Amino acid sequence: MKKKLLLHICCAPDATYGIEYFSKGFDVTVFFYNPNIHPEAEYKLRLIELKRVARRYGVTMIEGDYNPNAWFEAVKGLENEPEGGKRCPVCFRMRLEETARVASELGFEAISTVLTISPKKDSELVNRIGRAAALKYGVEWIDANLKKGGGFKRSLELSSLFELYRQEYCGCVFSLREAEHIRRMKAIERIEKAELDGDMILPNSRFPGTSAETLFRKEIRDRLEERGGYNLKEFEFRFMGWRPLLAKVAVAKTGPEFTALPWVYSASASGRVRGLISDVRDIEVEGIKFKKIKLSKGSIELMARTDGPPIPLVFNDFPILKPIISVDREILNHLDAKMDVQLTVEFNERARSGILLAWQGEPTLAVTAPLDSIYNSPEGSRMASAIKLLELAEKGVEDVVFAFLGAELTHGIGFKKFIEVASEMFPRLERIIRLGPIGHGNRISLSYDSGFEELGDAFGDAVFPVVRKSDPRDVYPYRVAIVKAEGNPFYHTVEDQFSQVNEKLANSVIEVIRKYIKNRH
Task: List, in sequence order, every residue forming a beta bridge with 484; answer none if it has no partner.
Answer: 445
- Per-residue model confidence as pLDDT tens digits over 15-43: 999 999 999 999 999 999 999 998 888 89
Mean pLDDT over 82-103 rounds to 91
Q: What is the pLDDT of residue 500?
A: 57
CA distance 233 to 22: 28
For residue 492, pLDDT over 60 is answered with no
Q: Which domain holds residue 90?
A: 3-179
**Is 151 in the same domain as 274?**
no
Q: What share of the chain is helix, strand, coil (3-state, %, to 5)?
A: 40, 25, 35
- Per-residue model confidence as pLDDT tens digits over 161-173: 999 998 766 767 6
Contact of 231 with 358, CB cutoff 8 Å? yes
Contact of 436 with 370, CB cutoff 8 Å? yes
Q: What is the pLDDT of residue 487?
A: 52
- Closest Cα partner for 191 from 211, 175, 221? 211
For CA atoms 78, 81, 84, 85, give the dihedral sign: negative
Count of residues for the chain? 521
In degrees and rounded to multiples of 5, residue 219 shows phi and psi of -65, -40
- Per-residue model confidence as pLDDT tens digits over 497-519: 434 567 788 888 899 999 999 88
For residue 200, pLDDT over 90 is answered with no
Distance in angstroms between the alpha carbons of the first and the last residue of the chain: 52
Q: What is the pLDDT of residue 195?
A: 47
For CA atoms 219, 220, 221, 226, give the dihedral sign: positive
Rg (C-alpha) for the chain, rounded Å, is 26
Q: Where is average pLDDT lowest: 39-48, 170-179, 244-253, 421-430?
A: 170-179
Q: What is the pLDDT of residue 383?
A: 59
Contact of 285 with 313, CB cutoff 8 Å? yes
- Of 348, 363, 379, the residue that ends a domain is 348
- Of 320, 348, 376, the residue that ends a domain is 348
Omega prior to 119 cis, within 30 of 0: no
Q: How far is CA 390 from CA 46, 233, 359, in A?
A: 22, 15, 12
Task: List, in sequence order, every residue forming a beta bridge with 302; answer none if it has no partner.
Answer: 293, 325
With a CB cutoff of 8 Å and minimum separation 6, the contacts of 160 are none
Contact of 11 with 50, CB cutoff 8 Å? yes
Q: What mean pLDDT, rounded, does the chain reach? A: 85
Q: How far is CA 219 from CA 206, 214, 373, in A?
A: 13, 9, 16
CA 377, distance to chain mean position in Å, is 15
64-68, 268-272, 310-314, range with greatest mean pLDDT? 64-68
Count of domains forming the chain:
3
Is 195 within a domain? Answer: no
- Closest Cα partner for 403 from 351, 452, 359? 359
**Is 264 in the same domain as 285?**
yes
Pairing relation of β-strands 110-113 and 140-141? Answer: parallel
What's the number of CA atoms in the CB half-sphere (13 Å) around residue 348? 24
- How would residue 198 be classed by pLDDT, with cut points 50, 70 and 90? very low
- Of 348, 366, 384, the residue that ends a domain is 348
CA distance 60 to 52: 11
* Confidence (pTM): 0.77
Q: What is the pLDDT of residue 508?
A: 87
Mean pLDDT over 205-216 rounds to 85
Q: What is the CATH number of the domain that holds 472?
A: 3.40.630.10
Mean pLDDT over 291-317 rounds to 85
For residue 489, pLDDT over 50 is answered with no
- How would residue 117 be classed by pLDDT, with cut points 50, 70 and 90? very high
- How would residue 211 be classed by pLDDT, with cut points 50, 70 and 90? confident
- Per-residue model confidence as pLDDT tens digits over 386-419: 989 999 999 988 899 999 999 998 778 999 999 9
Q: Which helix (H) or strand (E) holds 230?
A: none
**Is 231 in the same domain as 278?**
no
Q: What is the CATH number of the domain that holds 40?
A: 3.40.50.620
- Per-residue model confidence as pLDDT tens digits over 62-84: 999 999 899 989 988 887 777 77
For residue 305, pLDDT over 80 is answered with yes
